[in-house]
Structure 1
């Protein structure tokens, strides 16, 4: 069973809750793809448009995982994290039997996202009536779709990572060493400006 802390950590709960926004973001993506007609062969355009956002987020999660203590362009400074919060970072960077589990979970998530994107791309013509731009603005529609697909990738990868932390048994979680403060900026991708008071709720140490 996971610990009380894991079940109540607000950052983790918010990232998991934001998974509910992924379908809405994908609808916005399909609206962009519905603008105009493809210039390239469908299979080629699907690869060109689908792979970059997926590859970027998988690479980030593999090399420098997304920092979970950031929201809406703000990030809690590493120096303000409790020991429990730094254990969350240890979960995200740990290896089990030599395997960097977070990286492989990111890859599986990326494969799932490509399957989703393929279905979205194939279904895009059905959304022509709700396309946000006229057909002549195909390029703008593509940019619109790419932005929202990237956002969907980030939300899903971060939500899956937060869920992974939730499922770590309490005894295993508590046995982890808190992540070194000096290594956090080096080992994690921190999106947002420093905000010491972001979700400043009482934390156990």
Structure 2
């Protein structure tokens, strides 16, 4: 197992892709609500711009700081060099390319969702207005972009090999807030309590064997046993000499 795979924040944000279909569903319900109010191209553009542009700009200029959960984040001074190296990996040109590709994909998704939206009209509120539907669709598409862009960028970091990650210089602590979008208050102790409930990956067999080998190689001092009594050495028996 790669060392950075033991970082729980990477897996937490990669798992965000699981809620991507829920946001897509919200988008479809919004597009299916009410009768069209504007031309097709205008409504598609409104939803696409509201959903894609904010997340694209964030990931392009100041990527999301993955060392945060909901409304709390780890303070920059409390990040380890390995964690700051992981953060620096999100600033690579490859990440920007993935950001562009994900945005282009979501443009195509928006067009397809608009075409299929009438099929979901029975699931919409009976008295829903088109304006409310477009707002719902924009919100859903914003969430869909957020939970696609971040997992995609995290997946690329997870696929890095250990030598590739080791070549990246850790980002300086004072540059984190200017280079990354930090969400929520910085409460490291609260995050540590939350992460303590997560199962940590087990050690690799090689590491466990190395540790057991090092433990067994520690010299032990044994005290020599002293017998309670020691038998004296045998002496040659003297033979009596007969007097002449």
TM-score (norm 1): 0.88
Which protein has the larger Cα radius of gyration, Structure 1 or Structure 2?
A: 2
Selected match of 1:115 from 108, 120, 124: 108
Aligned to 1:97: none
Gaps of 5+ in 2: 201-244
Aligned to 2:160: 168
Aligned to 1:80: 78
* Equivalent runs, 1:1-205 vs 2, <5 Å: 3-4=2-3, 6-94=4-92, 100-132=93-125, 134-135=127-128, 137-200=129-192
User: How far off is 1:198 after superposition?
Assistant: 4.6
Greater mean alpha carbon deviation, residues 194-203 or residues 69-78? 194-203
- Residue 93 of structure 1 aligns to a residue whose secondary structure is coil
Q: Which has the higher helix share?
A: 1
Which structure's relative contact order is higher, taking Cα pairs within 8 Å and 6+ residues apart? 1
Contact 1:76 1:198 in 2 (8 A): no
Change (3 A) 1:132 1:68: farther
Tell me how far apart the structure 2 counterparts of residues 61 and 76 of structure 1 sit (CA, whole Å): 19
Q: Deviations over 1:139-185 (max 9, x none)?
A: 11211121121111111111011101101111111222211110000
Contact 2:46 2:138 in 1 (8 A): no
Contact 2:47 2:141 in 1 (8 A): no
- Residue 181 of structure 2 aligns to a residue whose secondary structure is coil
Change (3 A) 1:117 1:133: farther
TM-score (norm 2): 0.75
Change (3 A) 1:77 1:129: same
Equivalences, count: 195
Q: Deviations over 1:98-137 (max 9, x none)?
A: xx222121010011111111111111111111114624x2
RMSD of Structure 2 on Structure 1 (CA): 1.8
Tell me how far apart the structure 1 counterparts of residues 158 and 73 of structure 2 sit (CA, whole Å): 21
Aligned to 2:217: none
Q: Which ranges of 4 or more aligned residues in structure 1 deviate by more than 4 Å?
A: none
